[in-house]
């Protein structure tokens, strides 16, 4: 199967495959759209089963970034990159420096940042070979790790969702199951939820991080696969994508799915399946846009925390409008969000072509 026939290919403008024998780099960069500006999206560093899995992730994630950025009303396009984690020992600094060279060949069509498995320190390595990088820990307009802002946006989105599902934004006493709780975003989110009075049920493959959160927040720890079976009010996926699928959806015992993970629905029809079960779904690329908003503040060259907070306010409003429209139209919220995002992108393409 070629890239053009791939089921996740969505008329991407560019897909770059980059290798470097010296460092073991195997990377895929997907540029979905530059209609509103350069494609911006993080780099994911992961142990993929094979290159097909890596390609599928790059294509889905880059499309999601286009939708995320346009829904957040940012003057940037959407892209994403993945690096297949080498087997055995490797020089991390050299690997990410080589990745920077690959990014640089696109001449600014794509600007990279952190994602799962990547840190601000890795972005410093990328910066050695390209200027098209953000999420740096130092510099005049450095924004640093975007995870705290992503978590704040998701926390706000959970409250918006709770208001629709339970009649109040108050999370006191709500049982919330958090998948990927020990990750960069998940841990910050858990702290927000705990401070709001929620009762946490958490899981992660990072056992030391999980134990730390258990002790700090008094959370209940469950095995990774058991998170789907918890009797809870809200399920917050904050790990990898495609976790709402045929063999998990029937196990959910919640009223809301709202979390930080990208591409939570394995297929678009899972949104309708959630709706049938009376489960409210907060479209992931809307609720988790806080990080890219933070990054945009750095790209602008004049990072302003007040501007970031204003954009987070806008995310709350947008999510509320999507959920209200989905209810009034009797349609799945993910399809409502997709329709809005595609219309905005088509408008941007038309304006660019004019």
Domains of the chain, start order: 14-65+78-127 (3.40.50.10860), 147-289+317-341 (3.40.50.720)
User: Do 297 and 304 contact (CB within 8 A), yes or no?
Assistant: yes
- Region 90-110: what's the mean pLDDT? 98
Task: Say if CB 69 and CB 292 are below 8 A apart.
Answer: yes
The candidate with the shortest Cα–Cα distance to 51, out of 5, 12, 10, 19, is 19
Q: What does the pLDDT read at residue 140?
A: 57
Structure tokens at 317: 């409003």
The tokens for 104 are 């640089």
CA-CA-CA-CA torsion sign (319, 65, 249, 330): positive
Q: At residue 137, does pLDDT exceed 80?
A: no
CA gap 258, 157 in Å, rounded: 7
pLDDT of residue 168: 98
Catalytic residue chosen out of the listed positions 26, 80, 159, 311: 80
Residues 28-71 have pLDDT tens digits of: 999 999 999 999 999 999 999 999 999 999 999 999 999 999 99
Mean pLDDT of 223-242: 96
Q: CA quadruple 200, 205, 207, 213: dihedral positive or negative?
A: negative
**Tens of pLDDT, residues 258-308:** 999 999 999 999 999 999 999 999 999 999 999 899 888 778 777 788 988
Note whether 162 and 174 are within 8 A (CB). yes
Mention every residue, 6+ apart, whose C-beta is less than 8 A from residue 146: 113, 114, 135, 290, 291, 292, 294, 295
| Confidence band of 94 (pLDDT split at 50, 70, 90) | very high
Tally of residues, the chain: 354
Structure tokens given for 51? 């290159």
Q: Evaluate if residue 18 carries a pLDDT over 60.
A: yes
By CB neighbour count within 10 A (0-12 exposed, 13-18 middle, 19+ buried), where does 274 fall?
Answer: buried
Distance CA 10, CA 17 (A): 17
- Alpha carbon 292 to its chain's center: 9
Sequential DSSP letters for 228-274: GG-B-SEEEE-S-S--BSTTTGGG-B-SEE--S-SS-BSSTTHHHHH
**What sign has the CA pseudo-torsion 18, 31, 40, 107?**
positive
131 is catalytic: no
List, for residues 68-93, the tens digit of each pLDDT value: 999 999 999 999 999 999 999 999 99
- Alpha-helical regions (H) of the chain: 51-71, 92-104, 120-127, 147-166, 184-195, 207-217, 270-276, 284-287, 290-299, 305-329, 333-353
Q: Tell me the mean pLDDT in the region 150-162.
A: 97
């Amino acid at each position: 199967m070629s890239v053009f026939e791939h089921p996740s290919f969505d008329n991407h403008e560019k897909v770059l495959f980059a290798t470097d024998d010296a460092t073991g780099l195997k990377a895929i960069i997907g540029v979905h759209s530059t209609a509103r500006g350069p494609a911006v999206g993080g780099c994911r560093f992961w142990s993929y089963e094979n290159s097909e899995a890596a390609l599928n992730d790059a294509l889905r994630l880059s499309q999601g970034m286009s939708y995320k950025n346009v829904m957040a009303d940012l003057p940037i396009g959407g892209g994403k990159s993945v690096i297949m984690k080498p087997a055995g020992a490797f020089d991390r600094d050299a690997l990410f420096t080589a990745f920077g060279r690959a990014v640089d060949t696109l001449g600014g069509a794509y600007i990279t940042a952190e994602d799962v498995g990547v840190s601000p320190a890795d972005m410093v390595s990328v910066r050695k070979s390209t200027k098209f990088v953000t999420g740096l820990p130092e510099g005049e307009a450095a924004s640093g790790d975007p995870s705290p802002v992503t978590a704040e946006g998701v926390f706000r989105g959970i409250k918006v969702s709770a208001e629709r599902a339970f009649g109040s934004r108050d999370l006191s006493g709500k049982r919330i199951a958090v998948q990927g709780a020990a990750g960069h975003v998940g841990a910050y989110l858990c702290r927000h939820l705990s401070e709001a009075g929620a009762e946490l049920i958490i899981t992660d493959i990072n056992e030391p991080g999980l134990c730390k959160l258990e002790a700090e927040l008094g959370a209940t720890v469950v095995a990774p696969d058991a998170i789907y079976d918890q009797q809870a009010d809200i399920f917050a996926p904050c790990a990898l994508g495609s976790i709402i699928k045929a063999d998990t959806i029937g196990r959910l015992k919640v009223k809301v799915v709202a979390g930080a993970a990208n591409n939570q629905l394995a297929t678009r029809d899972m949104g309708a399946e959630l709706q049938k079960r009376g489960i409210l779904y907060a479209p992931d690329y809307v609720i988790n846009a806080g990080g890219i908003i933070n990054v945009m503040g750095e790209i602008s060259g004049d990072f302003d925390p007040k501007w970031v907070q204003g954009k987070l306010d806008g995310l709350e409003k947008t999510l509320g409008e999507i959920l209200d429209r989905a209810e009034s139209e009797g349609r799945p919220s993910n399809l409502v969000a997709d329709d809005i995002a595609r219309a905005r992108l088509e408008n941007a393409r038309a304006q660019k072509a004019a």
